[in-house]
Amino acid sequence: MSNRSQSEAVAYPTSSHWGSYQVLVEGDRVVGVRPDPDDPAPSPLIGNAPDAQHHSTRIARPSIRRRWLERGPGPNPRRGAPDDEFVEVDWDTALDLLAAELRRVHEEHGAEAVFGGSYGWGSAGRFHHSQSQLHRFLNTVGGYTRSRNTYSHAVVEVLFPHLLGTPAAHDLLERPPSWKAIARHTDLIVTFGGLRASNTWISSGGRAAGTALPAMEKAAGAGVRTVSVSPLRDDTIDEMGAEWLPVSPGTDTAVLLALIHVLFDEDLADRAFLDRYTVGADVVRRSVMGMIDGVVKTPEWAEEVSGLPATRIRALAREMAAGRTLVNVGWSVQRARYGEQPMWAGLALAACLGQIGLPGGGFATGYGSTGRYGGGSTPGGLPRFPQGANPVDRYIPVNCTADMLLDPGGAFVYDGEELTYPDVRLVVWSGGNPFHHHQDLARLTRAFGRPETVWVVDTHWTATARHADIVLPSTTTLERDDMAASQGDLRLRAMPRAVPPHGEARDEYEVYRALAARLGREAEFTEGRTAEEWRRHMYEEWRKRQKEAFAADLPDYDAFWAAGSVDLPGRVEEEALLGDFRADPVAAPLKTPSGRIELFSATIEGFDLPDCPGYPVWLPGEERLGSPRSRRWPLLLLANQPSGRLHSQQDMGAYSRGQKIAGRAPLRLHPDDAAARGLADGDVVRVHNDRGSLLAGVQVSDELRPGVAQLSTGAWYDPSAPDVTCVHGNPNALTPTTGTSGLSQGCTGQHVLVEVTRYRGDPPPVRALEPPVIITLEQQDAEGWE
Ligand SMILES: Nc1nc2c(c(=O)[nH]1)N[C@H]1C(S)=C(S)[C@@H](COP(=O)(O)OP(=O)(O)OC[C@H]3O[C@@H](n4cnc5c(=O)[nH]c(N)nc54)[C@H](O)[C@@H]3O)O[C@H]1N2
Ligand SMILES: Nc1nc2c(c(=O)[nH]1)N[C@H]1C(S)=C(S)[C@@H](COP(=O)(O)OP(=O)(O)OC[C@H]3O[C@@H](n4cnc5c(=O)[nH]c(N)nc54)[C@H](O)[C@@H]3O)O[C@H]1N2
Ligand SMILES: [Mo]
């Protein structure tokens, strides 16, 4: 919040992925924020908004990489070089260049040479949503190669349709038991990957109120006991009084298989449930009993692998069988090599407990991963901006972006398919930051050197914008009218514009309209509507659907806008997942080949993948304590979600800045590991492995398991010093691009082995939060073209 007097400030309600709040505006400036009066638990992340809105890294005008302007499109290995110059141009010049480049690429290489996946968490807002706008535009002008799945939970998206079928796999993400049902019915939550409070500050699409933390507290108050299996003690809030089982990262599958072993060994497994509702339980039983590979998956065996005491694992299995138990496997646990296995083993454990389909019991994934999980669902949907159809059917799993750019025509497998990478010439990104989110960023820089043109639309000069040839400035959510809600939310909220656009920033709708006009497709893109008319249209279409589905009489658009919000009709707070299937598996079978839960999947077995067989198994990853690689890189770095911001967004904001140490990302180290290296709080260290190095500031903490270090994602990537990959502390300077397996090809960025050493001498300054060198066309003319 701002120190300035806020007496004359006008408060504007708004909403973002980090919640609903009010911005305080004086004249044209955001001078502070305050929580929404209806929010019982506002997110501290709102404190980043004022500084981010007016920061010097806002993009003010369309800018073209000087070399691209002078030499035209072509591969450029120097893309992203810290001293590269950009030339500011007017909008017409930028749009003419871009339209000509799109036309050229289409004519010479076809629309599939345009990579428009554009993954990322750009603004919340149902209309001005970057990907929706961009994808509609690209679809209107011929299509694009797209990306599939998320960084968040690719394994859940690809694996569970095989195990539960669709829509049950979808319900797993969208309709888990609500926190209220948990408080009412659950005795014990065993959560692999914690219930990290700061993660619940975020909901994709925004959230009317922060409901998750109060609900967790209430559940604990109602007697729900929590066991947090996590390398970090503070992955649960104190109020829950959770028991901490400090697992070694990447070894949950061993613990899960041992829990299953105890259930079979002590005849606690619910055989009637397994017979009636699952296939493959016998394969799982034989596997944990050692009848397939000769290794009996006892708690003693799991102790060796995971570091958790065998006695505790054995007792936990008995406790789980004794009452109503919910098994939660968080998304972090699958964001690692062989990430399919803990998810599958977690489902198998819940099946052995026989409580799937019972209120407050069974299997779940996502409590503690976002604020909306367990917060209800809205089957009536939300207002939507139609994206049209993509005439191009090429795609890649999103985690394969660098592979695609480095290996055009190269073969890969994904979900039983053998595919090849397209030959991409033009990369476009809007509302995402691959130089935040992708792994092995030095490799990504090489990959971004390959295409002929990189086009980025963003609000700020992120590392991705600095790797672009054509950079267009977008307005922020505070600079345009919109509306927001997340799936399962309480209300749809109006987001009235609070301040005028920064510099010459434009709404993306206007950018794509103008581009579509240049390509002769304006009428198809706009369907004759202005932005305001689209919002009305989207709202009214949605209102009609709510009327049909729930006989809900919602106010019209003007009344909604004047009131500022409307309650979402038809909300449900689920008691159980798969309740119908449990009630009658014959009448309501799952949409799997067997109609049941597939603990063994003949389909996946048939894919014949070395890294994902047909039933859950323990596969030891490389980036793991005790692996051969750990002899050289002895610390396991957890690259989890940052508590100071959403990913890389608003890293310059007050709340995010307040967490930095010596201006760099904080690296938490266990006291033993710090002492062994002679390190203390505040030291600047080099964190390194064979992929790269970064600088970070030390924070010693006994909240971590020894051997584990923690450095959350999101410090803006800063390659400005010659001998360090990132001087600011982005952990993706070190992480591997390997996929989870040939099944899901998910992101494995959560775990990476490193060494930490003191940085000797004066550390190089952080430059990421400064704009690049920008010149005018006149200056460029005066200096002469290359
Ligand atoms: N090592 C490691 N890496 C990870 C993860 C991990 O656990 N470990 N987690 C992964 C996960 S789960 C995710 S989801 C990704 C997240 O990765 P991203 O979603 O790419 O990260 P963000 O920083 O949210 O990027 C959003 C971008 O949109 C821009 N933006 C905001 N508003 C607007 C707008 O109105 N218009 C436009 N055009 N742009 C806008 C922001 O400035 C920012 O550059 O990171 C992944 N990376
Ligand atoms: N504040 C904030 N909240 C966010 C985000 C953000 O950027 N900032 N991003 C949002 C997004 S896009 C997503 S996808 C979700 C992600 O949600 P998650 O994937 O659940 O979040 P993470 O913070 O990556 O990981 C949660 C915890 O898992 C634990 N963990 C890591 N590895 C292992 C392991 O091998 N075994 C076990 N048992 N535990 C492990 C770590 O201690 C970590 O703190 O978060 C969302 N919430
Ligand atoms: Mo995510």
The answer, yes or no, to whether any atom of ligand 1 lies below 6 A from the CB of 433, is: yes
151 CA distance to ligand 3 centroid (A)?
5
Residues 330, 252: Cα–Cα separation, whole Å: 11
Q: Ligand 1, atom 19: nearest CA belongs to which residue? A: 120
Query: Which positions are catalytic?
Result: 119, 121
Q: Which atom of ligand 1 is nearest to the CA of 714?
A: 23
Check residue 786 and give its pLDDT: 59
Residues 223, 225: Cα–Cα separation, whole Å: 6
**Residue 711, by phi and psi: left (phi above 0), alpha (psi -120 to 50) or beta?**
beta
Asked whether the whole model's pTM tops 0.85, one would answer yes
Ligand positioned closest to the Cα atom of 642: 2
Q: Ligand 2, atom 14: nearest CA belongs to which residue? A: 152
> Residue 766: phi, psi to the nearest 5?
-85, 125
Question: Can you tell me the mean pLDDT for 244-264?
Answer: 98
What tens digit of pLDDT does each residue of 480-531 get? 999 999 999 999 999 999 999 999 999 999 999 999 999 999 999 999 999 9
Looking at residue 758, the DSSP 8-state letter turns out to be E
Check residue 1 and give its pLDDT: 43
Q: Residue 2: pLDDT band by 50, 70, 90 thresholds?
A: very low
Residue with tokens 């010049």: 93
Ligand positioned closest to the Cα atom of 244: 2
Q: Is the pLDDT of residue 249 over 90?
A: yes
Q: Residue 3: pLDDT band by 50, 70, 90 thresholds?
A: very low
Share of the chain above pLDDT 90, in %: 97
Q: Residue 783: pLDDT band by 50, 70, 90 thresholds?
A: confident
Check residue 784 and give its pLDDT: 77
Q: Is the pLDDT of residue 545 over 80?
A: yes
Q: Ligand 1, atom 4: nearest CA belongs to which residue? A: 437
Check residue 8 and give its pLDDT: 83
Neighbouring C-beta atoms of residue 559, cutoff 10 Å: 10
Tokens of 609: 């993948």
480 CA distance to ligand 1 centroid (A)?
21
Check residue 159 and give its pLDDT: 98
Q: Residue 7: pLDDT band by 50, 70, 90 thresholds?
A: low
- The mean pLDDT value of the chain amounts to 97
- CA neighbours closer than 13 Å in the CB half-sphere of residue 724: 24
786 CA distance to ligand 3 centroid (A)?
42
Question: Can you tell me the mean pLDDT for 470-485?
Answer: 98
Ligand positioned closest to the Cα atom of 746: 1
Q: Is the pLDDT of residue 736 over 60?
A: yes
Q: Is the pLDDT of residue 4 over 70?
A: no
Check residue 555 and give its pLDDT: 98
The DSSP bridge partners found for residue 22 are 13, 34
Check residue 627 and give its pLDDT: 98
Check residue 443 and give its pLDDT: 98
Residues 439, 598: Cα–Cα separation, whole Å: 32
Residues 563, 580: Cα–Cα separation, whole Å: 38
Domains of the chain: 10-53 (no CATH), 63-149+383-484+491-567 (3.40.50.740), 178-378 (3.40.228.10), 628-758 (2.40.40.20)
The answer, yes or no, to whether any atom of ligand 1 lies below 6 A from the CB of 469, is: no
The answer, yes or no, to whether any atom of ligand 1 lies below 6 A from the CB of 61, is: no
Looking at residue 473, the DSSP 8-state letter turns out to be E
CB 149, CB 158: distance < 8 Å? yes
Q: Residue 780: pLDDT band by 50, 70, 90 thresholds?
A: confident
Q: Ligand 2, atom 31: nearest CA belongs to which residue? A: 332
DSSP string over 37-77: TT-SS--GGGGGHHHHHT-TTB--S-EEEHHHHHH-S---T
What tens digit of pLDDT does each residue of 316-372 get? 999 999 999 999 999 999 999 999 999 999 999 999 999 999 999 999 999 999 999
Alpha-helical segments (H) within 470-608: 508-518, 522-526, 531-550, 557-563, 579-583, 602-607
What tens digit of pLDDT does each residue of 657-710 get? 999 999 999 999 999 999 999 999 999 999 999 999 999 999 999 999 999 999
Which residues are in the CB-under-5-Å shell of ion ligand 3?
A: 152
What tens digit of pLDDT does each residue of 616-659 get? 999 999 999 999 999 999 999 999 999 999 999 999 999 999 99
Q: Is the pLDDT of residue 207 over 60?
A: yes
What tens digit of pLDDT does each residue of 584-616 get? 999 999 999 999 999 999 999 999 999 999 999
Residues 727, 712: Cα–Cα separation, whole Å: 15
**Sign of the C-alpha dihedral computed for residues 641, 368, 674 and 304 taken in this order:** negative
Residue 597 CA, distance from chain mean position: 27
**Of 477, 712, 747, 751, which is best to mutate to test ligand 1, by the most ligand atoms within 8 angstroms of its C-beta?**
747
Q: Is the pLDDT of residue 267 over 50?
A: yes
The DSSP bridge partners found for residue 669 are 700, 709
Residue with tokens 């505790």: 312
What tens digit of pLDDT does each residue of 288-323 get? 999 999 999 999 999 999 999 999 999 999 999 999
